[in-house]
A and B are shown apart, each in its own frame.
Chain A
Amino acid sequence: MHEFRYERPATVAEAIRAVAHDPEADFLAGGTTEVDLMKDGVFHPDLLVDITRLPLRGVRRDGTMLQVGALTTMEELASDRTLMERAPFVVEALLRGASVQLRNMATIGGNLLQRTRCRYFRDPAVPACNKREPGSGCEAVNSVARMHAILGASPACIALHASDLAVALVALDAVVHIQSEEGERLVPLTQFYLMPGETPDRENVLRHGELITAVDIPLPPEGTRSIYLKIRDRASYEFALASAAIAVIMDGPVIKEARVAMGGVGTIPWRGFEAEEVLREAPATPDTFRSAADGTIRDPFIVPGTAFKVELAKRTLIRALTEVTS
């Protein structure tokens, strides 16, 4: 591992200043992405600013919203009673991710910023990776790919955004609080992530030195039913091949309101606006679900290893819709 300095500032302002004034500095939260990728030689900060003891931890109810401090751990958020009652699919998404040990360290802010599991990105011995080395090409497109994206992908990069939590949170229109030396700005999670385009190294709107301080989760109305369905190679402790986060309000056999997002398929956590259009005021029938799935998985960019995901993703969505509406 590269030489670096370690600091633990006492205040949010000092932490932001420390990173903002050093282009090679990184924040350190739970470390389950940061330390991991430093060991792999993918990250080589010259300064790590440990933010884990800053007062940004805990969940607060604010009317119809939960405000979650960025340093709240995944396990802590998963045990929040209000979330369990009002949006259980967020809890499911949290608990189907990683392991107990990792969730005890991993924070909500860090989870949203976790990096792709693309194995070529994680291996500096592979020369071609536009995300790691802009302009170097994309190994995944030309050799073996499987845990990769089919939506929002391009020949420049097909890396998947692997967070489960983010999938449920984009469905709920969560909002990210971002603090910098200039002040605070709020960004809806649906506008937080960037498609790879020609610059896969830029994954989100965060500028260097900006700190996520909190995430607002709007609570869906009482009576909302929800599900997080995660399809993977083994029953536990594995990333998604495809996943669906769905919240619906039913009126008898008719879907009044629907929120749809998918994981395991997109270069960003994928909000299914088209599916929501199809589902709204529609009868909960197999035909409706099929057209919602066709509407979501449109114009996929596939390579041989990811072709199976087109049908898998549709079936995942259809199964999740069937379960949540019945």
Chain B
Amino acid sequence: MRVNVTVNGAPMTADDVWPGESLLYVLRERLGLPGAKNACEQGECGSCTVYLDGLPVCACLVAAGQAEGREVLTVEGLASGEELDPVQEAFVECGAVQCGFCTPGLIVQAHSLIAGHDGVPADAEIREHLAGNLCRCTGYEKILDAVRLAARRKAGS
């Protein structure tokens, strides 16, 4: 089947998609966007997190056909040109990246928290919002630092 989807602002078409493919597979294998990662494929780790019509979802559990005609924003779409998104910048500055496998999903999920927030979220809120994103390297402390830093900068500006 054919799937039409707007990705990072650009209309895209994938042909010969098998209905059993996930949105994640379509993004990575058919549309050349390997940012969202494929780890558990079961909704458990969050490394495949992308925005679907403005809300973060696990792309591994979205059937390709469900994305038809909808808008997807992936980690690739967050930076403008060479200029990183403040969340990406904060992850780099705080050392919140080790192997990096969980990073794209965490960046999108953290981005969704900060986008919907005027001030700096309480730690409990950050933890709860990121609960579906597993990282086996960092121990999460640096990730929390990065989210606080990005939120502070946004609130200050």
What is the interface of chain A, defined by CB distance below 8 A to chain B? 1-6, 8, 28, 30-32, 35-36, 38-40, 48, 50, 52, 75, 95, 98-102, 104-105, 235-237
Contacts and interface: CB of A to CB of B under 8 A. Distances in A.
A36 B20 CA distance: 11
Nearest to A1: B20
Nearest to B56: A101
Nearest to B134: A237
A101 B49 contact: yes
Interface stretch (B8-16, B87-95, B123-131): B123-131
Interface string B38-66: 00011100100100100111100111011
Interface of B: 1, 19-20, 22, 41-43, 46, 49, 52, 55-58, 61-63, 65-66, 68, 109, 112, 127-129, 131-133
A160 B84 CA distance: 46
A101 B66 contact: no
A6 B65 contact: yes
Given A102-B132, A104-B56, A8 B68 contact: yes
A28 B62 CA distance: 10
Given A75-B55, A99-B131, A50 B65 contact: yes
Contacts, number: 83
Contact of B43 (A8, A50, A102, A235): A102
Nearest to A39: B41
B62 A105 contact: yes
Contacts of A101: 43, 46, 49, 56-58, 109, 132
Nearest to A37: B42
Contacts of A4: 19-20
A246 B85 CA distance: 44
Contact of A237 (B20, B58, B132): B132
12 contacts: A35-B61, A38-B20, A50-B65, A75-B55, A98-B43, A99-B46, A99-B58, A100-B109, A100-B112, A100-B131, A104-B56, A237-B132
A98 B66 contact: no
Residue of A3, A6, A8 ringed by the most chain B CB atoms within 10 A:
A6
A37 B20 CA distance: 12
A236 B56 contact: no
